[in-house]
Amino acid sequence: MVAADVGFAEASWIMVVKSLVIFAVILGLVPMILLLERKLLGRFQARYGPNRVGPKGLLQPLADVVKLLSKEAYKPDAAVPILWAIAPALVILSATATLAIIPFGDVADGNVGLYGIDVSIGILYAFAFGSISFYGLLLGGWSSGSKYSFMGAMRSAAQLISYEISMGLALLGVIMMAGSLSLVDIANAQADTIWYVIPQFVGFLIFMVAGFAETNRPPFDLPEADAELVAGYNTEYGGMRFGSYFMAEYMEMVVVSGIAAAMFLGGWHGPGPDWLGPIWMLAKIMVLICLFIWVRATLPRLRYDQLMSLGWKVLLPLATLNVLVTAVLVVVT
């Protein structure tokens, strides 16, 4: 009994350490992704990106962080103080907790794998914590005491609810094919066969479109529409509280890309020796993040009624049909 308790405690500590390491890696990626986005947007739009701070502008993210940290902490008179302060923390908590299930490799020596945790409920864990970000956006907009922030929060609520259903159904076909909810098992199921992006291409497209809406990225950035809502739910935020929302958006891009890479693109599996697994996983995540940036530079923002129509009238029926077809094929074959 004592040996079992010691083993459980050791395994728990290993999972905590792995989660912290993965979080540190992703946290280090966020400023790199921000710089990559600004550089690529510059190239897409025939202009230079950041090129003044440091060699080739490489220190621009550091300058942005220093600027946000040095700004005066400001709270609107009409704000609800506790909720207004808690809201950005909820968004960061949601993105950070979801990072723990993204796998970067298989079990290495019998009990240690390159992932934070491999929970039996798998992708449901991601959806559970992902829904917490909804409260962060809603509380941030409502507690600011601004009509623009409140409208942005309402848009966020409607948008997340509309697209989360389609996102879940898009992954259901992969889950049925792999026979597991675990991202590690799903990635391993693609080791000796074709990646699920081929038989589940419709599901992949639906998941990525819903991912753009979930992360409030263009062309689905209606909750932050500057032409209508100034900046939406974060209008009244400044300094690092605004920076928290900003950082959470990029962390959620990594989360969506990581889940897509694990469930549709074979995870860490790729040509070459096994030690290349984490590099393959990072490469797939970065390719999908470049897709996020490419779409931002290409497509204009949708109208709000177009956004809702796409979610409920197009993506949801397509995702439902994809699940039904997959279920029939899995049973038959």
Buried b (16+ CB within 10 A) or exposed e, 204-218: bebbbbbbbbbbbbb
> What whole-number distance in Å separates Cα of residue 114 and Cα of residue 107?
7
Q: What's the pLDDT at 217? A: 85
pLDDT band at 317 (very low <50, low <70, confident <90, very high): very high
CB distance 130 to 210 below 8 Å: no
> What whole-number distance in Å separates Cα of residue 91 and Cα of residue 96?
9
Ranges 90-104, 105-119, 255-269: which has the least confidence: 105-119
CB distance 258 to 23 below 8 Å: no
CB distance 68 to 240 below 8 Å: yes
Q: Tokens 């309402």 — which residue?
A: 154
Question: 10: burial class by Cβ within 10 Å (0-12, 13-18, 19+)?
Answer: exposed
**Residue count (the chain):** 333
| DSSP bridge pairs for 107 | 113
Q: What's the pLDDT at 265? A: 94
Tokens coding 23: 């979080």
- The candidate with the shortest Cα–Cα distance to 271, out of 191, 207, 205, is 191
Q: What's the pLDDT at 108? A: 54
pLDDT band at 111 (very low <50, low <70, confident <90, very high): very low
pLDDT band at 90 (very low <50, low <70, confident <90, very high): confident
Check pLDDT > 50 for residue 248: yes
pLDDT band at 1 (very low <50, low <70, confident <90, very high): very low
Q: What's the pLDDT at 259? A: 93
Tokens coding 329: 């094929």
Check pLDDT > 70 for residue 87: yes
Percent of the chain scoring above 90 in pLDDT:
24
The count of other CB atoms within 10 Å of the CB of residue 24 is 10
At residue 125, what is the residue type?
Y
pTM of the model: 0.89
DSSP annotation string for 17-76: HHHHHHHHHHHHHHHHHHHHHHHHHHHHTTS--S-SSSGGGTTHHHHHHHHHHHSPP---
Check pLDDT > 90 for residue 49: no
Tokens coding 138: 């809603």
State how far the alpha carbon of 126 is from the alpha carbons of 97, 99, 146, 170, 288, in Å: 8, 8, 31, 14, 18
pLDDT band at 61 (very low <50, low <70, confident <90, very high): confident
- The candidate with the shortest Cα–Cα distance to 283, out of 309, 265, 306, is 265
Q: Tokens 């300058």 — which residue?
A: 63
Taking the CA atoms of residue 102, residue 108, residue 109 and residue 112 in that order, the dihedral angle to the nearest 10 degrees is -20
Buried b (16+ CB within 10 A) or exposed e, 148-168: bbbbbbbbbbbbbebbbbbbb
- The candidate with the shortest Cα–Cα distance to 242, out of 96, 132, 93, 88, is 88
